[in-house]
Structure 1
Amino acid sequence: MKILLAVVALLGAVLLVSQLVFRSRGAVARRWVAQEGALLLDVRSENEFAAGHLPGAVNVPVTQLSTQLGTLGDKGRPIVVYCASGMRSTRASSLLRDAGFSRVLNLGGMSAW
């Protein structure tokens, strides 16, 4: 029983820390967009994007990103990447960095905004 309680407490702490990290990313992301003209990149599917997205976001599904890199503009422009939960945005952020984009912020899930 003590082990179970310790595991639950540890998981709770991890979730709390992750929420704090994503909230701080949200503040940085909003600043990049407002002050530096960052591209807000939604890497969810077209259907998810059509159902709702952050204002001003551009949709390039992560499955199409490698073939659409040329449409994203200057590689020095800041890019804020998001999806539904953070899985696809993590993959997209890595792809962007590997392609030479120098200022990429993985917002994670859209709710972090």
Structure 2
Amino acid sequence: MITVSLHGAEFFAYHGFYPEEQLLGNKFIIDIYVDFETDADLSADELSDTVNYEQLYNIAKEEMAKTAKLLETVAHNITKRIRDEHPYLLSIRVALKKLNPPLQGRVAHSAVTITV
């Protein structure tokens, strides 16, 4: 089994349930993990024998550009896009964190994780 992952991909986006959040925007962090098996000869050193994490980043970037009320919706859409483009993956995990969510007290981040 091979796991390819991205950690701490940062985005500024306009996700949030409240209108102010969609107007002001916020910083978000995404972690993505994908698992797969391969029969490829990895000593061949070919990108086509693995999952290109640049593609994972680009999927996240495109989905983060689409405003949504719920973090669950954004994480689901990222997961679905990854699955659609890489149907051979055994599992996909997307963790989406909203930094400093607008609450009455100091909170480092809120988060949603989807695993399929």
Greater helix content: 1
Q: Same fold per TM (> 0.5)? A: no
- Shorter chain as normaliser: what TM range? under 0.3
